[in-house]
Amino acid sequence: MIGGISFFSLITQLFMGLQVGLVYVLLAVGLSLIFGLMTVVNFAHGSFFMFGAYMGLFMMGLTGNFWVSLVFVPLATGLLGLVVERFTVRPLYGRDLNDPLLLTFGLSFVMVESVRLIWGTTGFPFDTPSALTGPVNLGFALFPLYRVFVIVITVLIIFLLWVFLEKTSLGLIIRGGTRDSLMVRVLGIDLSKVWFLVFGIGTGLAGIAGVLVAPMRGIHPDMGIDMLIQAFVVVVVGGMGSLKGAVIAGILIGMVVSITTLIYPMMGEVVIFISMAVVLLVRPSGLFGEEGLLE
Amino acid sequence: MSKDKFKKGEGRISRRTFLKGAAALGGAAAWGGIPALSRTSWAQAKNPIKLGGLYDLTGPFATESEDQRRATQMVVDEYNNKGGLLGRPIEHIIRDSKLKTDEAALKAKELVEKEKVDLAIGTLGAHTVVAYNIECKKHNIPLMGICQTDDLNKMPDWGPYTFHEGFTPYMTAQAEARWIAKNLGTKWYFLIGQWAFGQQIYNSYLKFLAQNPGVTNLGKSDYPLGGTEYSMHFTKIIDAKPEVLITTGFGKDNTNQAKQMTDFGLKSKMKIFFVLTDLMMAKEAGQASIAGTYAGTHFYWEMQDTIPTAKPFVEAFWKRWGRPPTGYGGYGYGGAKELLGAVERAGALDPEKIRKQLEGRSYDNYKGKEWWRKCDHQSMQDFYVLKGREPKDAKKEWAFYDVVGKTDADESLERTCADLGFKG
């Protein structure tokens, strides 16, 4: 017992924090990737997350198969991201940083209202896939199998993203573009194509986060708003543009929120912002902000 | 008018100008300008009675608030279809508080000072209705509160023309606490939302606990309004080993909690009691999530099988909006019926005459007998406990619950007039 809390409770709570933190990570890496390379603060990221959940619901209605949805959703949201980049974000390159920020801010409203028009203001339940229902015994607690699956698949996605960025020549260009876009262009590489692709990957990641979260929290048009705030906090704490920072900050914040909720529930949500304030006071550029995207 | 006046390009609209105008008109229609135009002509033609409707149309309670608006509109249309009220049409002027106190204050001021409404109805949030009431009180406009709040019927918030069709959280908790202690268990844990309603409910439960030493309070976890992840509260709750978990989760909080409590197996460890639920929350959470959970309500549409006045309301609502009404739709319908009915009986918009029509009156608009307590204008009505059906037992669409408990309307469930600051 530590302060009236059993060891098993503490471990369970840390595991819950890890799971919730990894959801933050999944949303934050896309946001961080887009900012790191393109310096676009994508305020519509939460709406892509929401759109992913609705696309998942749509696909579930068509096929009744969660796994098909899981493959379809990142492709659909990524494709939407590509269209958005090509026709709305691209014309703003070279302009003030605030211009794409305002654009994506407006776009987020358009997306939410469009979903309201199509699917209505009332949310929908999203059934847990039958193969992943029920609890699994982790030795220290019973935990929903679906949430364990979310942990596994999130780790897998982050690993694949790391391999893509670290081990492929396209990843090398992205990393180079993040460090010094002028130098990459001098080498004869058309960075606009890379930006196009990265925006699609980032929004695809938001979409897959949406469909993964849907069985845990249901679906409604405003579901992206809260998640976007949390994702921004994670990106700021980790360091704008740092993938490693987003991963570590997401897990840390999830665990801090979880333990705070166990000890003093009222502060559970506030502690996210306290963490951000503390990090910004000590390291204004975030935990890994100075080191760039992949350091 | 001479023919000469119509020379080429004069007194005519060129194709380009027409297209510009059409585009502008199209834009105005898309952004709500057309209703404003038609509203003006309506107003000029008939000098309508203006009913201000402030609703929390954005945020976690948007679905239930929209039902309040719809049900109120049904009553307005009932009057307008039979020639209006006092020979004048009723205009329902709608504003969205966005569930924020400052926005509610701003929109209430707009309704009262700019639109100059004659009567007022709304909101759903216990905090937004207080802001609305302040503005209505200032201008002696009769307000029909259709939410759950402890503030509208107590001094000094209460006004002589303030009426409250909704339950008070105090009454809700008193009605539920007796039922839970008798039927579900006496070791309780609370999950309390950090907003006015949550605190008012908890305070009333605390009073019950103080008067009933046989019931134990094992602890409380607070959560912010509109949260998304509740699983992090569960370790503490499970460790406390309660017989009953009582939660104030409402709206999206309710659906997220029901879903996550099911996933984490809380339902097999304790009874779950939502202090308040409504139809669309069950729809959003899904039958599997609400199965076996208990919840309080003042109205559920299947009561039409046992309450005669519920049937026409449910049928009319269903026919118009394509599904059964929520309980909050019931508040909107019942509240609007009472307010507009009082004007009709009074034969005037004089707030004093409206007040006299309502004080002490018994009525049955959609859910059986209710009455207005004279001292504080609080509606007294029956309260019910629902239990979520198992998916295999939910045979009809929208048939989410069984009604398993009822507490009859009783003034002793509410604070006394003296407690609320009324003399005599």
DSSP states along B141-165: --EEE-S--SSTTSTTT--TTEEE-
**How far is C-alpha B49 from the chain's CA centre?**
23
DSSP state of A240: T
User: What's the pLDDT score for residue A294?
Assistant: 38
Question: Do the Cβ atoms of A216 and B259 come within 8 Å?
Answer: yes
In chain A, whose CA is at the least distance from the CA of B62?
A: A121
Predicted-complex ipTM score: 0.85
Q: Which residue type occupies B229?
A: E
DSSP state of A41: -
Buried b / exposed e over A139-157, threshold 16 CB at 10 Å, is eebebbbbbbbbbeebeeb
User: What's the pLDDT score for residue A180?
Assistant: 79
Question: Do the Cβ atoms of A9 and B283 come within 8 Å?
Answer: no
Instruction: Give the tokens for residue A191.
Output: 């960075």
Asked whether residue A289 carries a pLDDT value surpassing 80, the answer given is no
CA distance B263 to chain A (A): 6
Q: What is the CATH number of domain B169-297+383-413?
A: 3.40.50.2300
Assign residue B363 a region: left if phi > 0, alpha if psi is -120 to 50, beta otherwise?
beta
Question: Do the Cβ atoms of B236 and A9 come within 8 Å?
Answer: yes
User: What's the pLDDT score for residue B411?
Assistant: 95
Q: Supply angle C-alpha A131, A135, A138, rounded to 5.
A: 120
The better pLDDT of the pair B198, B44 is held by: B198
* A248, A238 Cβ separation under 8 angstroms: yes
The residues, any chain, with a CB within 8 Å of residue A231's CB and separated by 6 or more, are A24, A27, A28, A31, A45, A46
Question: Do the Cβ atoms of A217 and B260 come within 8 Å?
Answer: yes
Residue B95 main-chain phi, psi, to 5 deg: -135, 155
Instruction: Give the tokens for residue A247.
Output: 């991963």
Question: Do the Cβ atoms of A265 and B252 come within 8 Å?
Answer: no
Question: Do the Cβ atoms of A217 and B265 come within 8 Å?
Answer: no
User: What's the pLDDT score for residue A1?
Assistant: 57
pLDDT range class, residue A49, cuts 50, 70, 90? very high
* A148, A12 Cβ separation under 8 angstroms: no
Give the tens place of pLDDT for each residue, B243-294: 999 999 888 889 999 999 999 999 999 999 999 999 999 999 999 999 999 9
Element (H, E) at B406: strand B401-407
Asked whether residue A107 carries a pLDDT value surpassing 90, the answer given is yes
Question: Do the Cβ atoms of B232 and A144 come within 8 Å?
Answer: no
Give the tens place of pLDDT for each residue, A137-182: 888 888 999 999 999 999 999 999 999 988 999 888 888 887 777 8
Instruction: Give the tokens for residue B64.
Output: 């239930």
Give the tens place of pLDDT for each residue, A74-84: 999 999 999 99
Partners of A142 on chain B (C-beta within 8 Å) are 265
pTM of this structure? 0.84
CB contact B312 to A (< 8 Å): no
Domain spans, chain B: 46-167+304-381, 169-297+383-413
Q: CA-CA distance, A139 to B54, in Å (whole number)?
A: 52
Point out the residue among A125, A144, A261 whose CB comes nearest to the CB of B286.
A125
Q: Does domain B46-167+304-381 have CATH number 3.40.630.40?
A: no
Residue A195 main-chain phi, psi, to 5 deg: -60, -45
CB contact B323 to A (< 8 Å): no
Point out the residue among A121, A144, A261 whose CB comes nearest to the CB of B232.
A261
Give the tens place of pLDDT for each residue, B56-100: 998 878 888 999 999 999 999 999 999 999 999 999 999 999 999
* B307, B368 Cβ separation under 8 angstroms: yes
For chain A, how far is it from start to end, CA to CA, in angstroms? Answer: 39
Please determine whether the domains at B46-167+304-381 and B169-297+383-413 fall in the same fold group of CATH.
yes
